[in-house]
Amino acid sequence: TFRDDWYPQYKANRPSMPDDMACQIEPLHAAIAALGWPLLSVDGVEADDVIGTLARQAAAQGVDVVVSTGDKDLAQLVGPHVQLVNTMSNEVLDEAGVLAKFGVPPERIVDYLALVGDSVDNVPGVDKVGAKTAVKWLRAYGSLDGVIAAAADVGGAVGDNLRRALDFLPLARRLLSVRCDLDLPLALADLAPRPRDRERLRELFTHYEMRSWLREAQGEQSAGGAAAAPPPAVDAKPAGAGAAPPGLLPDGEHRAAYETILDRESFERWLAKIDASPLTAVDSETTSLDPFAARIVGVSLAVAVGEAAYLPLAHDHPGDPAQLPCEEMLARLKPWLESPRHAKIGQHLKYDQHVFANHGIALAGVRHDTLLQSYVLESGKDGARGHDLGRLATRHLGLATIPYEALCGKGANQISFAQVAIEQAAEYAAEDADLCLRLHDKLYPQIAADAGLKHVYQAIEMPVREILFRMERTGVLIDTQQLAGQSEEIGKRLLELEAQAYAAAGQPFNVNSPKQLAEILFGTLAMPVRKKTPSGTPSTDEEVLSELALDYPLPKILLQSRQLSKLKSTYTDKLPKMVNAQTGRVHTSYAQAVAVTGRLASSDPNLQNIPVRTAEGRRIRAAFIAPPGSSLVSADYSQIELRIMAHLSEDPRLLEAFAKGDDVHRATAAEIFGVSSGEVGPDQRRVAKVINFGLIYGMSAF
């Protein structure tokens, strides 16, 4: 592009597009065209410039614009008629939002970026200048030109860095400025969506085995006919009286009939409703995300789309109305909650099941879970985040939900849900229950229409949900005394390694400081720099130290120290602190709807990643014990994924290895490294295992 002509190093740090990705562009363009979306491609410029030009043209015509992006560079486009929305985080940025996030208004974003640099595009800024300094300068001097003019007055090392960057800063600003004046081949009016070519979509989705999209397309065709058009990308209504504001926020009409249960008459009426309902959505609002520490703040219920209520029980916001007694109301709800006859649905009900258990209630009758419905239909959708209730509502219902952060904040300033005013909490909580029924009506028919998906959902995922709950509730027993002793030993060993590091360096230094370590390695000891960080300083990461350890003693010592330090902080010190005081066990959380392969994930703590390669790691594993009179049993399928791959691929060597009963990973390693099977070492087998499983799970250059 023209930016490469200005600055040959522009984006030079990026690898070229992998061949496996390049060959996907044309099919993607074909799918976009079949979906009815206009495709605008302009040679010699970047997509940002096309977006900027379109946004400028639309805003000039009084059209409100929403740019869907997570790219901070495009914040410079924001104005009275232009907003950004990051659909990954549901963050919407208007002019005030840009100022709040970056500390400068949209018209100063380019100046800000020029000062801090953009490592993604390989555009350097002023060395050692971060966001705080850039904002301070722009507030003090008004603009980048003002900063340049006042450079002589800026003292200290950062002032020296600024003066060294003066010649490049104007170019940096040009490189980071989005062009808004392109001569586009299509006018704004030409970009209206067209009817979908459903036959072409069916051909594409069938050819590329996009089964979820194929089911969706076929379902829409049977419901709405072949000529149905996609919804408009934006409301192209000019701003003014009666114009809808830009963004994705709905008008909230779906919340109009929600109720707040504050008196016994309302409670009895809703008790009768859920008793008669064939399927009730239930959700709990709590004091904590920790399922074992959480206490109920309120319960939301929905018996039909749009017919939802919130029962507040433990809010303590000043000025709130009186609430019904918590324990009494839970006792009244308990027979219904524990009834297997009354069908229930929710979003991630395994968590709510723990919360109710904390109050002595054994939740039963769980028929459906929208988290698992989404996972079965779209297992590859953005990991766990792709099945979040808010994203599901946006993706499938066209609704933007009330974000939790809007009520409770985030970070250090986050408050408990109990501190949220009941009026606000009720709308948020009732919406969650309502959305479960709305999503169920959308998702479950797609599952029920496919015998395979229905089997996976009803015979595997839903029963497994209950098993995982019981596993989490039971917890695991650990030998805290053994871990304490091991932690003390590791601490002594770390002190020994620290002394060895000082001796190898010829001076004491902070082994945990990347800056000091870089000075020792590449300054004092003159070791070769292997790679640099995005800020341009020599890297001291594990990859670099591993390379240097082949020739120098200090990096080897540092690697040993880092490995032991991680074991100590992550396991031997931390695990005993995670023992539940009431049960005497460690209780992890198993995430069911994460990996596209169906594998579970474990967190708080991660019990699937206990180290095993080193002697110290194996000692940590040995600290997981059974109670007296019991034993721990380890069971696993023997390379089941590779057996499936051998069956599907009919690869002769894989089939032969399994037929002979060979170790498949060892056989792969022998072929890769050109040695006999008997000569394969543990590290070589480990590399082969990574390759074997990586190929199954879609490993590629990108």
Mean pLDDT lowest among 189-193, 365-369, 469-473, 595-599: 595-599
> What is the number of other CB atoms lying within 10 angstroms of the CB of residue 292?
19
pLDDT tens per residue across span 130-149? 999 999 999 999 999 999 99
Q: Span 106-127, mean pLDDT?
A: 93
Confidence of residue 555 (pLDDT cuts 50, 70, 90): very high
Q: Span 66-87, mean pLDDT?
A: 92
Half-sphere exposure of 214 (CA within 13 A, CB side): 12
pLDDT tens per residue across span 246-274? 333 344 667 778 999 999 999 999 999 99
The superfamily (CATH) of domain 50-183 is 5' to 3' exonuclease, C-terminal subdomain (1.10.150.20)
Q: How far apart are CA 73 and CA 52, in angstroms?
A: 11
- Does 363 score more than 50 pLDDT? yes
Q: How far apart are CA 42 and CA 182, in angstroms?
A: 9
Mean pLDDT lowest among 438-442, 458-462, 477-481, 646-650: 646-650
Q: Span 55-60, mean pLDDT?
A: 94
Residue-wise DSSP of 59-126: HHTTB-EEEE---GGGGGG-BTTEEEEETTTTEEE-HHHHHHHHSS-GGGHHHHHHHH-BTTTTB--S
With H, G, I as helix, E, B as strand and everything else as coil, classify residue 259: strand
* Residue 59 structure tokens: 């805003």
Question: For the CA atoms of 187, 193, 195, 197, what is the dihedral angle to 10 degrees?
Answer: 90
Q: How far apart are CA 153 and CA 471, in angstroms?
A: 65
* Residue 370 structure tokens: 């929208």
Q: How far apart are CA 256 and CA 74, in angstroms?
A: 36
Say whether domain 254-474 belongs to CATH 3.30.420.10: yes
- Does 238 score more than 60 pLDDT? no
- To the nearest 10 degrees (0 to 180), the angle between helices 682-696 and 640-649 is 60
* Residue 521 structure tokens: 């390695």
Q: Span 525-534, mean pLDDT?
A: 87
Domain spans of the chain, in order of start: 50-183, 195-224, 254-474, 478-625, 640-696
Question: What pLDDT is recorded for position 417?
Answer: 95
> What is the number of other CB atoms lying within 10 angstroms of the CB of residue 174?
15
- Does 227 score more than 70 pLDDT? no
Sorted by sequence, the CB contacts under 8 Å of residue 214 that are 6+ apart come out as 202, 205, 206
Q: What is the mean pLDDT of the chain?
A: 89
- Does 300 score more than 70 pLDDT? yes
Residue-wise DSSP of 280-330: EEEEEEES-SSTTT--EEEEEEEEETTEEEEEE-S---TTPPP---HHHHH
For residue 398, give Cα distances in angstroms to 217, 243, 254, 292, 680.
17, 19, 11, 34, 55
Q: How far apart are CA 384 and CA 411, in angstroms?
A: 21
| Residues in the chain, overall count | 702
- To the nearest 10 degrees (0 to 180), the angle between helices 19-34 and 198-207 is 160
Q: How far apart are CA 514 and CA 537, in angstroms?
A: 10
CATH hierarchy code of domain 478-625: 1.20.1060.10
Q: How far apart are the first and last CA of the chain?
A: 23
Q: Span 672-700, mean pLDDT?
A: 85
Question: What pLDDT is recorded for position 377?
Answer: 93
Q: How far apart are CA 265 and CA 243, in angstroms?
A: 42
pLDDT tens per residue across span 172-213? 999 999 999 999 988 888 888 889 898 898 889 888 888 777
> What is the number of other CB atoms lying within 10 angstroms of the CB of residue 636?
6
Question: What pLDDT is recorded for position 459?
Answer: 97
Q: Span 350-377, mean pLDDT?
A: 97
